[in-house]
């Protein structure tokens, strides 16, 4: 009985790490911090357990496997997005201004966690709509409700939603592409590795590479989004465009 009583508390204590008793929020926040510092390749149940000061087995009640942990990181990104936005009920709000707010907040979250951004494509490509994290679904609901509340019909709202999502995630992906070949080089041409690009086969790319390496920033995001949305509002009011 003495051994049993010693083993019992020890087993219960396995859920308590260096930051106190675990919870899902703490597990996901620590996983995201690890990925921010060392990239997605560093993330494993064993490494995350080490970061939290617990055995890897203690994590399985919060994420059943590695895929579930990756989905949790997507959830963490969208929860941070929610924190940057006003309450989701934007009924009566200007739909374009609302989309700009969502786009800018998403951009800011992605630039704060660039190592995790690939998951916004890979995991959402792998997970059916109804199985996505609740925070992701609330983001979808926010955009669609904003459009429907502005008077867009179902089909047009769906088209705007798809175009908005494609532009936003595509823009962020382009912003975060690695362009620098050698960060220790001070000469721009060698820094970008232009000597690796054939001047005969890729003359235009070589000439344009320096401009491509510059980020468009929030201004480029907003300008591109306006150009995109003009195509849906140019015909008149949302109500007219929905017919």
**pLDDT value of position 14:** 54
Q: Class for domain 1-64, per CATH?
A: mainly alpha
**pLDDT value of position 223:** 97
**pLDDT value of position 10:** 39
* Model pTM score: 0.85
The full set of domain ranges for the chain reads 1-64
Among 42, 22, 23, smallest CA distance to 32 is for: 42
Block mean pLDDT (10 aa), the chain, length 243: 44 52 90 96 94 91 91 96 84 85 98 96 92 95 95 96 97 95 94 95 95 95 96 60 43
Cα dihedral sign for 57, 58, 59, 62? positive
């Amino acid at each position: 009985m003495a051994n049993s009583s010693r083993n019992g508390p020890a087993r219960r204590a396995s859920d308590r790490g260096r930051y106190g008793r675990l919870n899902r929020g703490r597990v996901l926040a620590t996983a995201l911090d690890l990925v921010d510092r060392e990239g997605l390749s560093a993330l494993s149940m064993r490494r995350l357990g080490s970061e939290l000061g617990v055995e890897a087995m203690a994590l399985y009640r919060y994420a059943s496997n590695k895929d579930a942990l990756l989905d949790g990181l997507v959830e963490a990104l969208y929860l941070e997005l929610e924190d940057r936005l006003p309450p989701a009920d934007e009924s009566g709000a200007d739909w374009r201004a609302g989309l700009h707010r969502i786009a800018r907040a998403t951009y800011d979250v992605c630039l704060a966690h660039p190592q995790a951004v690939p998951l916004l494509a890979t995991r959402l490509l792998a997970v059916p709509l109804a199985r996505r994290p609740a925070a992701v679904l609330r983001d979808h609901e926010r955009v669609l409700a904003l459009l429907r509340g502005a008077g867009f019909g179902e089909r047009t709202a769906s088209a705007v939603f798809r175009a908005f999502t494609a532009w936003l995630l595509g823009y962020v992906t382009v912003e975060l592409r690695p362009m620098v070949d050698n960060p220790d080089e001070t000469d721009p041409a060698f820094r970008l590795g232009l000597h690796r690009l054939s001047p005969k086969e890729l003359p235009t790319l070589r000439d344009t590479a320096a401009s491509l390496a510059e980020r468009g920033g929030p201004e480029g995001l907003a300008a591109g989004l306006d150009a995109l949305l003009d195509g849906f509002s140019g015909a008149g009011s949302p109500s007219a465009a929905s017919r």
